[in-house]
Structure 1
Amino acid sequence: MVKIAIAAASSQLAREVIDSLVATKKHEVIGLVRKVTDHETPPLHAEYKLTQGSQDPAQYPSLPGVQWVQTTYEDKADLVRLFKGVEVVLCFWPVNLDHGSVKQKRLIDAAVEAGVKRFAPSDGVKLESSLDAMAWYAGKIEITRYLENLNKEKKVIEYTRFQIGAFMNYLGHPHQTSTHVATLPFAFDFEKQHATLLEGSLDDVIVWTTVQDIAGVVARAVEYEGEWPAVGGIRGSPVTMREMLRLGEAMGKPFTIEWLKKEDVKTEPPNPKADTGGAVEIDLRSMTPEQAQAFVKMATRGILVAVGRGAYDVTDDWNRILPDYKFTQVEDFLKKVWGGK
């Protein structure tokens, strides 16, 4: 049995991970849900209520081994108290909403003080060479540096940066292919048979990993007795852009391609303002549908640039540690969701 604390436990991917942990019938989970302080503005859109806003733990389902606890993430002493006896802290905090990465750094410091053995920061992709293309993820790099510096002289806390590429479930949009994660079409929209690609990108690779496989690997990682790898790539199903187009044709769903010229896709360095620590203020909760759509369009362009630099071609660190784990492959997933539809 492992005692695990999950920060931002109301987030969609966190809920998938919690379900996977519960299914093992082995672990004790503390699900931390955010308590909005008096000076904060609540979310504007009701659809975000259950994922980002202030939550009463009583609103969450009663799950075996799971305790839901409110916290503002502002009081380090309170976090240290919550982390007493905890062996693993998993963080799903949206870094673009954590100005200066203050909250996640406080989580790490509290975990160290409480004697937590392992910490998994909010991560996802190989961001180092593509920060100008995905500036809203600047906090991920900041946290990586923070963890590296903590362990510079001696190992203070073990950590792994789970990197998963892209959610394969997006390829099934608008079909519901997971319990909690909402989808949107990214690069390949199988429903509309439309693809958005950069010129010259046909050999670019995206690793697609289902949220179920991500949760499955995390559930095994928390009880892994060996040392966690600092870079924890989870390599579900790597597919080039060319291969994805061929899969669409083979399934009778050929794509109309919108080709973007690289010179027309602008990238910018992260916001250097000291008070945000380089983080870009993006809060989908307070956006109008039009603003959200515009952000998704902008983000897709930046992500495609990052894909060309290998950001979504993640490594297979956890695959090698867990050689018996069978990952869902893109072709099988597509046939299951779209075959015969």
Structure 2
Amino acid sequence: MVKVAIAGGSGQVAKEVIDALIAANKHDITVLSRNFPPTGVVPRVHWRKVNYNDKWDLVGALRGIHTLLSFIQLLSDPEQQAQKNLIDAAIDAEVRRFAPSEYGSAGTIHMPWWSGKQIIREYLRKVNEDKRVSKYTLFQPGLFLDYLASPYKTAKHVEPLDTVFDFQNCRTTLVDGHENAIMTMTSVADLAAVVARAVEHEGQRPEIGGVRGNRVTFSQIVQIGEKIRGRPFIIEKVKIEDLEGGVLNTSWTLRKRHKAVPEEQSATLVKVVSIGILLSSLKGAWDVTDDLNQLFSDYVFDKIEDFLTRVWSGKS
């Protein structure tokens, strides 16, 4: 049995991972929370209220913990002080394994909403400069395949979000001349299953935990969409120079906002997200590694065409 602590356990992705850990029936799970346990607490999961600004409170909460998974919301803490305190406390409490709040792309270039990831990556390198004091893994699945099902919900906890691939209205935005930029797409269920496997894995885990469900080009995603939806996609192409200047010349944009984004910021951020995803893809930010695929070579990932066929079959 592995004693696992979950920081930020009320988040959508965290809940998916917690469910996978519970299903494994091999772990003692503790959720760290700023608040008292919510109603409807999941059986076999312990809750502990902590103060992320108090390192020693965190040390006490982490004593005896083997693996710490962080799902702390990045946007609410620009300097990432909560995660830094969590890392320091985990080291003092002799937590053996740590995973920071990642669960997305490999790179963060052109994606200011994920700048906190880079801050924490650099902090982890810094604390390990002289001696390896924190064994950590960056779980990186690319973009959730479930988002291509929007507006339909395909996971228990993760809500639908819009992307530059709009399967409902059969349209997409591509960067002119870069239609073959790479996008890694992994289902939420596959990420959760692989994280659960990694938690119970007794051997060495890679520092970069790439989880590659599907590695496809933007143009391949469009081709799959046209096949499944049974009609051509409307393709709007944008120029790099416009994107770099903060201009998105398209007839449509994203609508849904993540619940962590304040409503007054959503209109600005959805534009920033569209531009960021398009530009970052040109730098290879979404071409994640397959380190954990290799470690768990028997695991069968959901293929993009199979997944989307199940979602969109019979829908107009």
TM-score scaled by structure 1?
0.85
Alignment of 1:16-95 (within 5 A): 16-35=16-35, 56-64=36-44, 66-95=45-74
Q: In 2, distance between residues paired with 1:195 and 1:333? A: 19
SS at match of 1:85: coil
**Which whole-Å deviations, capped at 9, do the CAs of 1:118-142 have from their partners, x for residues lacking one?**
01011222225x1xx1122222112
TM superposition shift of 1:60: 3.9
Which residue does 1:3 correspond to in 2? Answer: 3
TM superposition shift of 1:297: 2.2
TM superposition shift of 1:71: 2.1
Choose the corresponding residue for 1:286, options 232, 247, 262: 262
TM superposition shift of 1:187: 1.4
Instruction: Pick closer, same or farther for the CA change 1:208–1:106 going to 2, 3 Å.
Output: same
TM superposition shift of 1:294: 3.3
Choose the corresponding residue for 1:100, options 79, 100, 110: 79
Q: In 2, distance between residues paired with 1:62 and 1:339? A: 34
Residue 266 (str. 1) matches residue 230 (str. 2): no
TM superposition shift of 1:261: 1.2
Q: In 1, distance between residues paired with 2:223 and 2:27? A: 43
Instruction: Pick closer, same or farther for the CA change 1:285–1:203 going to 2, 3 Å.
Output: closer
**Which whole-Å deviations, capped at 9, do the CAs of 1:105-157 have from their partners, x for residues lacking one?**
100000000010001011222225x1xx1122222112111111222222112
Query: Does structure 2 retain, via aligned residues, the 8 Å contact 1:164–1:233?
Result: yes
Query: Does structure 1 retain, via aligned residues, the 8 Å contact 2:105–2:285?
Result: yes
Which residue does 1:122 correspond to in 2? Answer: 101
Alignment of 1:222-301 (within 5 A): 222-251=199-228, 252-266=230-244, 284-288=260-264, 291-301=265-275
Structure 2 regions of 5+ residues with no counterpart? Answer: 247-257
Q: In 1, distance between residues paired with 2:304 and 2:214? A: 6
Q: In 2, distance between residues paired with 1:231 and 1:176? A: 29
Which residue does 2:301 correspond to in 1? Answer: 327
Q: In 2, distance between residues paired with 1:7 and 1:254? A: 44
Q: Which amino acid aligns with 1:30?
A: T
State the identity %.
43
TM superposition shift of 1:63: 2.1
Choose the corresponding residue for 2:190, options 189, 203, 213: 213
TM-score scaled by structure 2?
0.91
SS at match of 2:274: helix
TM superposition shift of 1:287: 2.2
TM superposition shift of 1:253: 3.8
SS at match of 1:99: coil
Instruction: Pick closer, same or farther for the CA change 1:89–1:104 going to 2, 3 Å.
Output: same
Query: Does structure 2 retain, via aligned residues, the 8 Å contact 1:97–1:283?
Result: no
Query: Does structure 2 retain, via aligned residues, the 8 Å contact 1:284–1:292?
Result: no
Query: Does structure 2 retain, via aligned residues, the 8 Å contact 1:188–1:194?
Result: yes
CA-based RMSD of the aligned residues comes to 1.7
The total of aligned residue pairs comes to: 302
Q: In 1, distance between residues paired with 2:245 and 2:71? A: 26
SS at match of 2:272: helix
SS at match of 1:95: coil
Choose the corresponding residue for 1:139, options 104, 116, 129: 116
Query: Does structure 2 retain, via aligned residues, the 8 Å contact 1:22–1:63?
Result: no
**Which whole-Å deviations, capped at 9, do the CAs of 1:273-332 have from their partners, x for residues lacking one?**
xxxxxxxxx9944323xx413311221111110011110110000000000011111100
Which residue does 2:249 correspond to in 1? Answer: none
Q: In 1, distance between residues paired with 2:69 and 2:105? A: 16
